Amino acid sequence: MTLVMGAIASVQIGAAIATTLFDELGPAGTVLVRTGFAAVALLLLWRPTLRGRSRRALLDAMLFGLALAGMNLSFYAALDRIPLGIAVTFEFTGPFLVAVAGSRRASDLLWVALAAGGIVLLSPGIHGSLDTTGTLLALLAGAFWATYIVLAVRVGRAFSGGQGLTLAMIVATVVLLPTGIVAGGGELGDPGLLAAGLAVALLSSAIPYSLELEALRRLPKGTFGVLMSLEPAVAALVGLIALGQDLSANEVIAIALVVAASAGALSAAATPSPVEA
C-alpha cells in the first residue's frame, strides 16, 4: 500500500511543480522538458536496440509514444485551465472505461452510473466557473490514457524490461519538439527551469514507475487497482496544499463518486467472472 500511495503522491507532486513552469515554458514546453529528461534517463538505463524487432512491434512502440505524447500534452494543457484534482478526475475516465470494457458483470452498470454522476456534477453546465476547454482537454487526456493502457500491454509483450517504454518515450519527445520549442523558446535553456523540469521528470515518470512495478510484485492486481483509483482524491489534496486550489462541495462529491466508481470497476476487472473462471 505504501508503495502505491508513494507512486500516486509522486505523480501529483510532479504535476503541481509542472504548473509552476507554465508561465515561462507553457504546457507544451513543460511536457517537452519532462519527456525529454525521462527519455534520456530510460535510454541510459535500458539501451534498447531495433535489431531483430518485427515491424508490428516497432509500430506498436511508435503508437505507444504518440499516445504518451498526446496524453501528457493534453493533460498539461488542461492543468493550465482547471484545478489539478478536477483534471485528474476527468482524465481517470480513461482507465475506468478500460476496466469496465474488460468486465462482464451487471454491477458495472452501477460503477458507470456513479462515474457519470460525478462527471455531470463537474461539467461546466452544472458548475459554471469550470473552463470548458480545460474539461475537454482533460477528457481527451483520458482517451489517450485508455489507448496508452491498451498499447502498453502489447508493447510489454513484445519488448523485455523497459525497452519498449524507452522507444516510446523517444518517439514522444520527437513528436513534442515542434510545439515545445515554440512554446518554451529561449527559456528552454534556463538552468533553473531545466532543473525544475528534471524534478518533474523524476517525480512524474522515473520514481512512480519504479514504485508501481515493485508494488505489482507484492499486491494482487485488484488491490493495486483499487489503490490507484484514489489518484483523483490525492490530486485534489495536493492541489489544495501545494497550489491553494479550493474545491466546492459539489466538486468534492463528484470526485468521491468517480473514485468509488473507479475502485469498484478496477477491482471487478481484476477478478475473473464465473464465465471466465
Phi, psi angles (nearest 5°) of residue 180:
-65, -40
> Is residue 114 classed exposed, middle or buried when 0-12, 13-18 and 19+ CB atoms within 10 A define those classes?
buried
- Print the SS3 string covering 223-272: HHHHHHCCHHHHHHHHHHHHHCCCCCHHHHHHHHHHHHHHHHHHHHHCCC
Residue range 4-57, pLDDT digits in tens: 899 999 999 999 999 999 999 999 999 999 999 999 988 998 888 888 899 999
Q: What are the boundaries of each domain within the chain?
A: 2-269
Residue 19's nearest CA partner among 32, 5, 8, 30 is: 30
Residue range 139-183, pLDDT digits in tens: 999 999 999 888 988 988 898 878 888 999 999 999 999 999 999
Of 103, 94, 100, nearest in space to 68 by CA: 94
The least confident of 113-127, 168-182, 193-207 is: 113-127
* Distance of alpha carbon 170 from alpha carbon 181, whole angstroms: 16
Nearest-angstrom CA–CA distance, 33 and 29: 6
- pLDDT, mean of residues 228-252: 93
Higher-confidence position of 189 and 274: 189
Distance from C-alpha of 193 to C-alpha of 199, rounded to nearest angstrom: 10
pLDDT tens by residue, 43-52: 998 888 888 8
* Global pTM exceeds 0.85: yes
pLDDT, residue 277, reads: 29
What is the distance between the alpha carbons of residues 7 and 216, in angstroms, rounded to a whole number? 12
Place of cell 475537454: 136
- CB within 8 A of 191, min separation 6: which ones? none
Torsion sign across C-alpha atoms 187, 192, 195, 196 = negative
Find the distance separating the first CA and the last CA of the chain, reported in whole Å: 27
Could you tell me if 20 and 196 are in contact, meaning their C-beta atoms sit under 8 angstroms apart?
Answer: yes
No. of H helices and E strands in the chain?
13, 0
- pLDDT > 90: what percent of the chain? 56
Lowest mean pLDDT among 112-116, 123-127, 162-166, 253-257: 123-127
The phi, psi pair for 79, rounded to 5°, reads -60, -25
pLDDT of 77 reads 97
Q: What is the mean pLDDT of residues 78-101?
A: 91
pLDDT in tens, 262-275: 888 877 666 544 33
Say if CB 30 and CB 197 are below 8 A apart: yes
| Average pLDDT, integer, range 232-243 | 95
Map grid coordinates 525497452 to a residue: 163
